[in-house]
Structure 1
Amino acid sequence: MASNAPAPGGADPLGIHGVVPPTVTAFHDDESVDYEGTAAHARFVVDGGAHGVFPLGTNGEFAMLSGAERDRIVESVVDEVGDEVPVIAGVGAPSTRQTVARAEAAADAGADGIVVVTPFYYPLDGDGAVEHYRRVCDAVDRPAYVYHIPSKTGNALSLETVSELAAIPNLVGVKDSSKDVPWLGQAIDEHPDLTFLSGSDSLLFPGLEIGCAGMVSAVANAFPELVVDLYEAYDAGDEDRARELQSQVYDVRSALKRGPYMAGVKAALSLQGFEAGPLRSPLRRMEAADQAALEEELRELGLLD
């Protein structure tokens, strides 16, 4: 458990902290889900030191999947690593009804907690957000974490709304990908009982500095040891080393952003011999020239044998 690193919120029975990668969904070449490969990726990051796993986040391409596919992915990941680390499963959907169905299925599959992205596409006011989360939390006996990513959902939560959400008994944390540091800092200050997770690789070290107990890191999907080393250095009180590793994460993050959106993580995994297949259309793989350039950058960073 954390010592120098911020502690999880007192309301969080799972004590989520450290590195919690948003694991990928592996696909076969025909874009059908590779459930064994998906579970194997969860194994890959846990063997790399991850403190938990978050299947069916943005990196897990959850919005591209059917309900049945999502339910089976949770089952596969829980079966593979659920006895070793907490599995907090993404269950968000545009409608409350869909979200409740996915939350119930995740609970039935043995997920330790659920991560609920704010509903997307249609505009949502504060009252609507509170009612949505209340109904989802009432439906399952699992700790729930808000996933706040307004750049993708179109719906930002005000600090006032977060205060109302914090009153829901089994809503225990927030995974924030807004990159709005003042918002995050104020939310942490006002709600010490909640667990906060930094959702951007640009804010791993800064997130720890302002009170995040852990980090949901896309870089950790490909290089879990790097991000685990950053967290453990910080936790041990070696903040200078943690800051150096954050600088390296910046370089890796920039390299992974080469080419089509989100193609970098699976390309980097492939360069290490872990084949997670394509992304589901319309998302695309990295072109050969971009992958060659990525390989050169990662070798220069000392991350490939």
Structure 2
Amino acid sequence: MPLPVPLSGVVPPLCTPLTRAGDVDLRSLAAHVERQLAAGVDAVFALGTSGESAHLSDAQRRTALRATVDAVAGRVPVLAGVIDMTTARVLEHARAAAGLGADALVATAPFYTGTHPAETAAHYRRVRDAVDLPLIAYDIPSAVHSKLPAATLVELAADGTLAGLKDSSGDLGALRRLLLALRGQGLDRTFAVLTGSELTVDAALLAGAHGVVPGLGNVDPAGYVRLYEHARAGRWAEAAAEQDRLVALFALVEAGEPAGMSGSASVLGGFKAALHLLGVIDCAATAAPLRPLPADAVTAVRRLLVEAGLL
């Protein structure tokens, strides 16, 4: 499905349901996609951070993306994460994603070894030249240990290399400066800026962001759709109220005790425990080596779902 120019709205980064044996759970994934579409999302993003792409094998990635494309069946665009350490590896994922029917690609800067902004720009140009699909940059310094400079993003937007940005930097000030720079060159009409910070969506939309890629949207896609619609209609008090409800629900990502598990395991385990409790997926398993949520943490997730009006 052609990607809107610019892409806007709610684009959830889908969790990848797994069986207890660690295989991609195709039935649960299809049910998860259907629930997202029923909530009114504008696109879906497979194989992002919430999709555990860093922990899946190449074969699992392909299986999850193929199943997502099949389940969506052309109703909204499918963005495919092609996240990896080097340009060569990203190119392999990008070609595979194109062959599986993805509508757009999402890539971080190279990581593990640091890259200069000029090298990062060259990386994105190589990917875009190799695969004729819209390419969206993913700025997530917490994972790749470098931030995409605004000057580089504006340059790549201007020459058509990039179709947009998913900003998960958490730096709302930098996001606003980028939006100003894009507007100054008229690029805001073609280059999508999507916030990945689900706690400040109303502020990002007020600043001019085109949409949101909310991990918590796995759990409550309808809430983010309502938030986006309120913001676009200028109903800022209603948008803020919906944002506040989602902020309270976001506490589920902290259900796991830091003494017993990583932050990533707590976040992903919280999303999957919620989806299991809601009856969307059959199993809340996460990919190795992430530890599962203990029973008391799952109880806390259930309480938050009840308080949010979801259970």
Partner of 2:44: 53
Partner of 1:116: 107
Structure 1 residues 174 and 164: alpha-carbon distance in aligned structure 2, compared to 1, 3 A threshold: same
1:205 aligns with 2:211: no
1:302 aligns with 2:309: yes
Partner of 1:9: none
- Are 1:59 and 1:218, in contact at CA under 8 Å, matched by a contact in 2? yes
Moved more, 167-176 or 96-105: 167-176
How far is the alpha carbon of 1:75 from its aligned partner?
1.5
How far is the alpha carbon of 1:266 from its aligned partner?
0.5
Moved more, 244-253 or 230-239: 230-239
Partner of 1:269: 275
> What SS does the aligned partner of 1:118 have?
coil
How far is the alpha carbon of 1:195 from its aligned partner?
0.5
Candidates 217, 220, 226, aligned match of 2:217: 220
> What SS does the aligned partner of 2:193 have?
strand
The percentage of counterpart residues that share the same residue type is 37
1:5-31 C-alpha deviation (Å, 9 max, x unpaired): xxxxxxx74542111100011111011
How far is the alpha carbon of 1:127 from its aligned partner?
1.3
Matches within 5 A, 1:83-162: 83-162=74-153
- Are 2:273 and 2:284, in contact at CA under 8 Å, matched by a contact in 1? no
Residue type at the aligned position of 1:145 = I
Partner of 1:80: 71
- Are 1:82 and 1:111, in contact at CA under 8 Å, matched by a contact in 2? no
- Are 1:53 and 1:88, in contact at CA under 8 Å, matched by a contact in 2? yes
Partner of 2:58: 67
Partner of 2:300: 293
Residue type at the aligned position of 2:21 = D
Residue type at the aligned position of 1:142 = L
Aligned partners of 2:293 and 2:224: how far apart in 1?
23
Partner of 1:283: 290
- Are 1:36 and 1:76, in contact at CA under 8 Å, matched by a contact in 2? no
Partner of 1:235: 232
> What SS does the aligned partner of 1:201 have?
coil
> What SS does the aligned partner of 2:194 have?
strand
Candidates 227, 249, 253, aligned match of 2:250: 253
> What SS does the aligned partner of 2:200 have?
helix
Structure 1 residues 261 and 229: alpha-carbon distance in aligned structure 2, compared to 1, 3 A threshold: closer
Q: Flag structure 1 segments of 5+ consecutive residues without an equivalent.
A: 1-11
Aligned partners of 2:171 and 2:212: how far apart in 1?
15
Partner of 2:185: none
- Are 2:5 and 2:192, in contact at CA under 8 Å, matched by a contact in 1? no
Residue type at the aligned position of 2:195 = S
Aligned partners of 2:4 and 2:240: how far apart in 1?
30
Q: Flag structure 2 segments of 5+ consecutive residues without an equivalent.
A: 183-187, 257-265
Residue type at the aligned position of 1:225 = A
> What SS does the aligned partner of 2:163 have?
strand
Aligned partners of 2:19 and 2:161: how far apart in 1?
37
Aligned partners of 2:238 and 2:137: how far apart in 1?
31
Aligned partners of 2:206 and 2:96: how far apart in 1?
36
Partner of 1:195: 192
Moved more, 182-191 or 207-216: 182-191
1:244-301 C-alpha deviation (Å, 9 max, x unpaired): 0001111011233211242111011111112243000111221111111221232123
- Are 2:166 and 2:193, in contact at CA under 8 Å, matched by a contact in 1? yes
Structure 1 residues 301 and 72: alpha-carbon distance in aligned structure 2, compared to 1, 3 A threshold: closer
Residue type at the aligned position of 1:209 = L
How far is the alpha carbon of 1:113 from its aligned partner?
0.6
1:198-249 C-alpha deviation (Å, 9 max, x unpaired): 0011121111011111100111101111111111112222111011000111
How far is the alpha carbon of 1:77 from its aligned partner?
0.8
Residue type at the aligned position of 1:30 = A
Candidates 149, 156, 160, aligned match of 1:169: 160
